[in-house]
Amino acid sequence: MLSSKLSVGIHIMTIFALKPGETLTSEYVACSVNTNPVVIRRLLGSLRAGGIVESRTGVGGGWTLLIDPERLTLLDILRAVEPQNEIFALHRSEPNPECPCGLHIQGVLTETYAKIQEGMTRQLAGITIACIAGKIRTRLDERGVVPRPLPVA
């Protein structure tokens, strides 16, 4: 089963892009994602380890974006939040080598998955957080919506 870490990571980084230069708390971000701040702090910790954000403690503390949204790609986020970068898993146990399909399925799947992964990597590297934020701004503009500050839980 695929995790939602990439989607939530993109959501988090898009919030930073929509609020340039602001220091944001995990509580604020959690309100947008509609999840527990602990979930956000874990992901922000991974993004910090990836050199994408930094944190400050104390009064006025929180998280800030270190990379320009124009340069921050979805692939950067994937690599930070899913470091194993494994999208597809093979069988948990070895298939039956006496079966013609079982004998060859893992090799064929490995080759197939590698091609899919290569294409996906290329696509993710070509999309920036600025692009995602721009699409959100466009949708807000089309609807005449003025973004409101999020209530902090």
Say what the pTM is: 0.85
In the predicted model, what is the mean pLDDT of residues 39-58? Answer: 96
Position 67 in a domain: yes
Residue 153: pLDDT above 50? no
Domain count, the chain: 1
Domain that holds residue 64: 5-87+128-142
Residue 81 lies in a domain: yes
Question: Can you read off the two tokens belonging to residue 100?
Answer: 């013609």
Q: How confident is the model at residue 143 (pLDDT cuts 50, 70, 90)?
A: confident
Q: Encoding tokens for residue 104?
A: 């060859």
Q: Are strands 53-56 and 62-65 parallel, antiparallel or unpaired?
A: antiparallel
62 in a domain, yes or no?
yes
Question: Does residue 96 form part of some domain?
Answer: no
Confirm whether 68 is domain-assigned. Answer: yes
**Alpha helices per DSSP H over the chain:** 5-18, 26-33, 37-49, 74-81, 100-125, 129-142
Domain CATH number, residue 49: 1.10.10.10
Q: Which residues contact 10 (CB under 8 A, 6 or more apart)?
A: 74, 77, 129, 132
More reliable by pLDDT, 151 or 63: 63
pLDDT at 25 over 80: yes
Domain contains 63: yes
